Structure 1
Amino acid sequence: MDIFERLKAAAVADWRSYVDHDFVRRLGAGTLPEAAFRTYLVQDYLFLIQFARAYALASYKSRTLADIRAAQSGLAAILAETDLHVRLCGRWGLTAAEIEAAPEHQATVAYTRFVLDCGAAGDLLDLHVALAPCVVGYAEIGRALVAQDPAALDANPYGEWIQEYASEGYQEVAAAARRHLDDLAARSMTERRFTELAALFAKASRLEADFWQMGLDAA
């Protein structure tokens, strides 16, 4: 069991509230109201801007070239992810400039600033534990939704989003994040510290669930 699985097991209720949220279930079924997805997508674009800053912070916090390269890779993946948002929002006539000019929702601020604070006040392991529910969680969600009914994705209005996170490319991003998290834990984690990290992971998972709920509440 790697450190990510241990963190999930220690925060199982919070994790389930995130990956099995009603937003996710409706997304997979294709029944999510468009207004909910549109609000989510715009806010997630703003969310990714702050996560890009978090990976820049990870580079600053790094003490080895390998860690800096991991941060660089994570930042590149985040920037590539914004392209999906711009493409999907373009269906509603929204430009990247218009999306970026949208005000941040409270749920967006709460999660992103929590992650940045974990990185600023803690070390590289704290930061990557706070990032993990998003980075790895989306891969698990995408994979699970594709597995439900692959043939139905073409008719699902959110099929492109699901396929992006289920794709081989994004799955490798998540796998690399897990390997790096394991490496960081091997270097600096004690069993006493695991309890603190599990609390960070649980809170990040709850904030992810709140982010889904923000989208639903807008519908």
Structure 2
Amino acid sequence: MLFQKLLKENFQIWDSYLHHDFVKQLENGTLKSENFLFYLKQDYIYLIHYAKCYALLALNANNARELRFAMKFQNYIVEGELELHKSILKLGIDADKLGVKDESLANIAYTRYMLSVGQSGDYLDLLVALSACAIGYGYIGKEIYENIGAKKLENHPYKEWILTYSGEAFQDEIKEFEDFLNSYEKSVSKEKFAKLSEIFYSVVRLEVNFWQHALDLKLEL
């Protein structure tokens, strides 16, 4: 499977993304609220750009199947994840007023990199760039839920976030994403895979940095 090959090729950085200290602190409930709030604000801004990437993915589509996929996932982000973040951020922060001055340099680096992949590469290049966030959050959410269990989650400070990414709806979405990505396996040459692996490594590295900058509370680099 194409995605599993990408994971195997980039196992070390992928593992540091899934098991980052931010994730472990979130899981055990010791993550400070200021760090979680910083992350949520940045992720809200991130998701706006992430949704734009799916618009670019749609523009790069070669057929109706690819177009439907891009439009479906863009809608899922706009109607689902952004609304989740907005509901959590409502405690003293107006999400709609977050602008460019609130955006961290780590956020800018990540989102503009994905947009550049879509502008300079093809549909599959951008699909792989988008996969680290989409599929990674599914893996993280599922693992956290399995580690904690339903009973301990009842009074967990980050219950809403964990239930979103471990929930059936999101898990179904990321399975669809992974299956869709894997459908391109037979068309990927050795040279193409090398390029895709470089893209994947870069975005996972940017995901790791995204967790870290939330721990450090750093808008600058």
Which TM bucket (shorter chain)? over 0.9
Counterpart for residue 39 of structure 2: 40
Q: Which residue of 1 aligns with 2:22?
A: 23
Shift of 1:159: 1.2
The equivalences for 1:49-198 within 5 A come to: 49-79=48-78, 80-90=80-90, 92-100=91-99, 103-150=102-149, 151-187=151-187, 189-198=188-197
Alignment RMSD, CA only?
Answer: 1.3
AA aligned opposite 2:43: D
2:169 aligned partner, one-letter code = G
Report Cα offsets for 1:31-56 as digits up to 9, x if no partner: 00111100000000000000111000
Superposed CA deviations along residues 78-98 of structure 1, whole A, max 9, x for unmatched, are 1121000001111x2222323
Instruction: Tell me the amino acid that sits aligned with residue 161 of structure 1.
Output: W
* Aligned-partner SS, 1:31: coil
- Identity fraction in percent: 35
Tell me how far apart the structure 2 counterparts of residues 106 and 52 of structure 1 sit (CA, whole Å): 19
Cα distance in 1, alignment partners of residues 184 and 59 from structure 2: 15
Q: Which runs of 5+ in 1 are unaligned?
A: none
CA contact (8 A) 1:4 1:182 kept: yes
CA distance in 1, matches of 2:207, 2:76: 19
Q: Does structure 2 conserve the Cα–Cα contact (< 8 Å) formed by 1:10 and 1:198?
A: yes
Letter of the 2:161 partner, please give it: W
Task: Report the 3-state secondary structure (helix = DSSP H, G, I; strand = E; otherwise coil) of the residue aligned with 1:143.
Answer: helix
Distance 1:164 1:186 in 2: 33
Report the more deviating stretch, 77-86 or 149-158: 149-158
* Secondary structure in 2 matching 1:118: helix
Measure the CA separation in 2 of the matches of 1:73 and 1:10. Answer: 29
Normalising to structure 1: TM-score of the pair? 0.95
Shift of 1:101: 6.4
Number of residue-to-residue matches in the alignment: 216
> Is 2:208 the partner of 1:205?
no
What residue identity is the alignment partner of 1:87?
S
Whether the 8 Å contact between 1:119 and 1:126 is mirrored in structure 2 is yes
Once residues 101 and 89 of structure 1 are traced to their aligned partners in structure 2, the CA distance between those partners, rounded to angstroms, is: 17
Give the conservation status (yes or no) of the 8 Å contact 2:41–2:95.
no
Distance 1:129 1:51 in 2: 13
Q: Which runs of 5+ in 2 are unaligned?
A: none
Distance 1:56 1:149 in 2: 36
* Counterpart contact for 1:45–1:100, Cα < 8 Å: no
Q: Residues of 2 paired with 1:101 and 1:120: CA distance?
A: 21
Give runs of ≥4 in structure 1 deviating > 6 Å. none
Q: Deviations over 1:79-123 (max 9, x none)?
A: 121000001111x22223233565210111111111111111000
In the TM superposition, what whole-angstrom CA distance separates every residue of 1:171-214 from its partner, at most 9, and x where no partner exists? 11111111221223433x11222122111111111100000011
> What is the one-letter code of the residue matched to 2:181?
L
